[in-house]
Amino acid sequence: MTAVTMDMAAAPPRKRMSEEMFWAIALIVPYVVVFAFFVVYPVGYGFWLGSGAASFKKLFQDPIFVTTLWNTAIFVLVAVNLKMVVALGLSAFFILEFRWIRWLSVVFILAWAMPSIPSILSIRWMFNPEWGMVNNLLFKWFQIEGPGWLTERHYGLMLAILVHIWKSLPFWTLILVAARLAIPRDLYESADVDGATRWQRFRFITWPAMRAPYLTSVLLSSIWTLGDFNSIYLLTGGGPNDSTQVLATLGVRYLRIDQFDVGMAAVICAMPAILPMVFFLMKRLSKVDEA
Amino acid sequence: MKRALALALASAVAFGAATAQAQEKITVWFTKAFYPSEDKALQDAIAKFKAKTGVDVELSLFSPEDIVTKSVSAVEAGTPPDVGFGLTYDFRVTGKWAFEGKLEDITDVIEPLKAQYLEGPLSTTLLMNGKTGKKAYYAAPVELQLMHINYWVDMLQDAGFQESDVPEDWKGFWDFWCDKVQGALRKKGQRVFGVGHPASIQASDTVYSFHMYMNAYNVKVVDDDGKLLLDQGDNKANFAKAIGDYASVVSRGCSPASSVNWGDVDNNLNFANKTTVLTHNATISIAAAQMDAMNKAENTAEQRATAKTNYFEKIRTRAFPNKPDGGKTPQLAAVKTAVIFADAKNKKRAKEFLAFFLTEENLQPYVEGSLGRWVPVTRKAIEAPFWTDGKDPHRAQVIKQLNEGTVYFPFTKNWKFTVVNAENVWGRATARVAKEGVKPDVAAEDAIKRIKEILAQ
Amino acid sequence: MTVTRFLERLPLYLVGLAVALWTLLPIYHLLIIALSPPDKAVAGDIIPQAVTLQNFVTILGSRHNLVQNFWTQLWNSTLIAVVTAVLTLVVGIGANFSISRLRLPGGRIVTNIALLTYLIPAAFLALPMYRTMGQYGFLDKPWSMIFAMVTLAAPYAIWVMNQASAKLPYELDEAARIDGATPLQILRFVYLPLMAPTMVAIGIYALLLAWNEYLYAFLMLSTERQLTLAPALGIFLAFDDAPWALMMAAGALYALPPTLVYYLFRRYMVGGLTAGAVKG
């Protein structure tokens, strides 16, 4: 890309500047219109609605608010880190050149390609405490009464984290596979010549090369995980007793109880967590863009 | 070329603003019925209205839960339908909407129909508008529900008991199902529960049933002017007792663990699957589902026969047991209401439609289409053979309970209780006791604090 | 294969087995419920007691209260997904061509601002977006979904296109200009042919995004005949005759098209979509 940039600097003055300029503007107008009408206006309007002191007072008074913040923190921290570490490990597995592994990768991606609603509801019924397959088999095989997977807060959160990972692990594995493939082979070959252990190969070759994409992925995934509505809503519905709500589901919860402004206040509350990550990411990503 | 593009852009921007309306129409949102017969009665009424007025009716049907979310958002966005009828409007939003001026005054629709209505139901729709400071009819009663208890006669017998063994006193009643019936069936190796006890905050059944418990413990939530009484005198202690008692059914393991996360249909489902021997439920929908199944053409003859036996022999509908102090537990009635929104586009026609739909000849088939799940709010329909011919055990029980007299929910006295209900402060209190081991008096204290916060908002 | 070699590779096989089980178990569970007779849907066995195609027949023939509008809803899902894909491409191509080929001054800023949308979780945009769709009068019309989905897909599209088009030598454009080509001709004859693989990836991405979306569809569409399949499936949960088998069968039918599309275009997808995120 450096080459292109230099090229531009050296580009001869254009004759039909005005026409080019016209098209440059005309072609970007559709996106600008979309952005203005469906991002700038709604966000501005929503923030305006939710920014009244009364809305925040209602939000902070709500007995479930603190639990929700905790849940969100646990959900994001555990889900993202667990997912990314597993993805990092699996990426080493999926770059191996066996035919069966290639086929397996095709199967693996299924979770990501499928829509959420059927797959998450399937998991929800699998774990239904009374008649789900899991507890039924526990009862049948071991005569034990399985736990209330969806009726205890910690199990519910744990399952929601697993569902989230189930759904998005293939995507991140794919990203990290691509990152691994970009590491030059000869580095490993010379490491082998020097008699490096597996750990040393990872520590001194793989990780230095993977660190940057891994961190970018962690950041991006944190933001998206923070906004994961389906994994909670379709699995536990935020229950029991609103004990598994997260910020992403709180908006709809307030809509249900006719308090739109409090819902917007909840969204605004997530902003201090998101914005630093967003700005950091934008910096990283646009660096890539221009590098 | 430039000009053509500019034109295209301009029209793209303007797009969506103009969709010409050839025919006059109104938008109507209803709750999707459980049974096809009910939906059909509604469609018929709409067809007749169309034929009579030439006005097109655009009907949307939603699940009982979704219609609240959708309506709330639509009202919020300033784009409500013209007419709305939601099964949970009454205890979650109607009063609030009326107070905030979001509903159209439909006194002129109600006035001519006044004579046909039963008095009690109509009184619940005379609502305060905070903007005008006056009360008026902001909603129309469509149908009502009472609280019932259903149990499986065959499962009871399987446990070694007869129906005459069921105690009528409050504590004895619940202990009977919890300990004796469940215990006996568990001994036989059955993975069943004595009681299906809705205890989640998302189920409206929890709100209804918990209010029955409050009635049983003589808890007065508000006075007739809507002033909070919950924190006064014996009320507080009784409130804590009701919470503790309600929670104990779950914490003793008499109700499926999932009941703390049930939606409105789950007590029906678990009962139908025979996971629970008994359940309490608003409406007789549990029996009505069997009635629906026994008449369904696509069911096999065997399935229809089973449903028929279930309906007439195996499923019993009864009232709640007597209060702990021995008196009759007051019957709670909830009146389901239809509204016209203040921001509706075509209020004139909306009123015409509502007036048309509410006449006996349209309303009665609609209510009867629900196979007894919903009870009429009009004088004529309640005396129809459908209810009074004595051939139907479940409907006869409904009429019996109705005739014993009913009371209404606190939210009919103070609209802010719709917010309390929507948030389900009741369910939260009982769930905290059942799931988190909080002491009932602490849960009661916190619930009262929360209610006061909401009343102050 | 010798025993020692097998043992050497055993850990690999175990990982493979774990991955396969982990991925397939929920899908298998979905399928056995879909294939069960309605009253045996929740039997909770690993091997179903009975298998039937009855549920699929019921759905395809619209023979149940809840699937009356299955074909209409399938059509709605398709329409919304396809139009979203096309519009995303149109908007994305316009913006990308303007920014990276016509070098619109300040174009970088547009990309960066667009990226901001991409980075804010969709669930948080849903409420304000819903509200304004109401004001525009788009609620309960396909346009609400289409515009929402284009809004969510376009930033990523523009970004991936920027990455891809940066690899196209600018000399090509220059050469065309010297031959007297207008910007539109450059777009048509130079840019589009070279960008085709990326376009396929972006198009499919937008298509799948719109097809799979639940939250926005649930909020913005209402009428049964306007619903897409995702919220239509959600309605099943509120009915007391437990139509789980029917619902899972409908879910399987709903999951089939995106899965097929994904596999058909997998080659483009992986390269096209991961291009951006890998670096950095």
Q: Using the beta-carbon criterion (under 8 Å), do C127 and A37 form an inter-chain contact?
A: no
Q: Using the beta-carbon criterion (under 8 Å), do B93 and A258 form an inter-chain contact?
A: yes
Q: Do B222 and B124 lie in a common domain?
A: no
What is the per-residue pLDDT for B5? 52
Q: Do B306 and B207 lie in a common domain?
A: yes
Nearest CA in chain A to B72: A258
Q: Do B389 and B429 lie in a common domain?
A: no
Nearest CA in chain A to B5: A26
Q: Do the beta carbons of residue C31 and residue C247 sit within 8 Å?
A: no
pLDDT over threshold 70, residue C56: yes
Restricting to C residues 68-107, those with a Cβ less than 8 Å away from any Cβ of A are 90-95, 97-99, 102-104, 107
pLDDT over threshold 90, residue B242: yes
What mean pLDDT do residues A91-97 have? 91
What is the per-residue pLDDT for B22? 55
Q: Do B186 and B326 lie in a common domain?
A: yes
Give pTM, 2 decimals.
0.86
User: Does B38 contact C at CB distance below 8 Å?
Assistant: no
Q: Using the beta-carbon criterion (under 8 Å), do A239 and B201 form an inter-chain contact?
A: yes
User: Does C179 contact B at CB distance below 8 Å?
Assistant: no
| Three-class HEC string of chain B | CHHHHHHHHHHHHHCCCCCCCCCCEEEEEEECCCCHHHHHHHHHHHHHHHHHHCCEEEEEEECHHHHHHHHHHHHHCCCCCCEEECCCHHHHHHHHHHHCCCECCCHHHHHHHHHHECHHHHHCCEEEECCCCEEEECCEEEEEEEEEEEEEHHHHHHCCCCHHHCCCCHHHHHHHHHHHHHHHHHHCCCCCEEEECCCCCCCHHHHHHHHHHHHHCCCCCECCCCCECCCCCHHHHHHHHHHHHHHHHHHCCCCCHHHHHCCCCHHHHHHHCCCEEEEEEECCHHHHHHHHHHHCCCCCHHHHHHHHHHHHHHEEEECCCCCCCCCCCCEEEEEEEEEEECCCCCHHHHHHHHHHHHCHHHHHHHHHHCCCCCECCEHHHHCCHHHHCCCCHHHHHHHHHHHCCEECCHHHCCCHHHHHHHHCHHHHHHHHHHHHCCCHHHHHHHHHHHHHHHHHC
Q: Do B128 and B96 lie in a common domain?
A: yes
Q: Do B315 and B358 lie in a common domain?
A: no
- Stronger pLDDT, A240 or B356, i.e. the higher one: B356
* CATH number of C72-234+254-278, picked from 3.40.50.261, 1.10.510.10, 1.10.3720.10, 1.10.10.10: 1.10.3720.10
pLDDT over threshold 70, residue B408: yes
pLDDT over threshold 70, residue B265: yes
Where along chain A do its domains lie?
18-50, 62-290
In a domain, residue B342? The reply is yes
Q: Do B221 and B312 lie in a common domain?
A: yes
| Most A-contacting residue of B250, B258, B411 (CB-CB within 10 A), to test interface | B258
Band the pLDDT of A291: cuts 50, 70, 90.
very low
User: Does A45 contact B at CB distance below 8 Å?
Assistant: no
The chain-wide mean pLDDT, for chain C, equals 87
Range of the domain at B139: 23-145+334-399
Restricting to C residues 103-142, those with a Cβ less than 8 Å away from any Cβ of B are 130-131, 133-140
The chain-wide mean pLDDT, for chain A, equals 86
Q: Do B254 and B178 lie in a common domain?
A: yes
Cβ-Cβ contacts under 8 Å, A257 against chain B: 72, 92, 419, 422-423
The chain-wide mean pLDDT, for chain B, equals 90
What is the per-residue pLDDT for C241? 67
In a domain, residue B268? The reply is yes
ipTM of the complex: 0.88
For C168-183, what is each residue's pLDDT tens digit? 888 888 888 888 888 8
Q: Which segment of A125-134, B131-140, B434-443 scores lowest on mean pLDDT?
A: A125-134
In a domain, residue B16? The reply is no
What mean pLDDT do residues B107-129 have? 93
Q: Using the beta-carbon criterion (under 8 Å), do C63 and B298 form an inter-chain contact?
A: yes
pLDDT over threshold 90, residue A220: no
Q: Do B253 and B299 lie in a common domain?
A: yes
What is the per-residue pLDDT for C107? 83
- Stronger pLDDT, B448 or A224, i.e. the higher one: B448
User: Does C265 contact A at CB distance below 8 Å?
Assistant: no
User: Does A53 contact B at CB distance below 8 Å?
Assistant: no
Residue B349, domain CATH: 3.40.190.10
Q: Using the beta-carbon criterion (under 8 Å), do B423 and A257 form an inter-chain contact?
A: yes
Please count the structural domains in chain B: 2
| Most B-contacting residue of A18, A142, A258 (CB-CB within 10 A), to test interface | A258
Band the pLDDT of B8: cuts 50, 70, 90.
low
Band the pLDDT of B135: cuts 50, 70, 90.
very high
What mean pLDDT do residues B442-449 have? 96
For C102-158, what is each residue's pLDDT tens digit? 888 888 888 888 878 877 788 888 888 988 888 888 988 999 999 999 999 998 888
Report the CATH number of the A62-290 domain.
1.10.3720.10
Nearest CA in chain C to A251: C127
User: Does C152 contact A at CB distance below 8 Å?
Assistant: no
Q: Using the beta-carbon criterion (under 8 Å), do B201 and A241 form an inter-chain contact?
A: yes
Where along chain C do its domains lie?
72-234+254-278
User: Does C240 contact B at CB distance below 8 Å?
Assistant: yes
Q: Do B78 and B163 lie in a common domain?
A: no
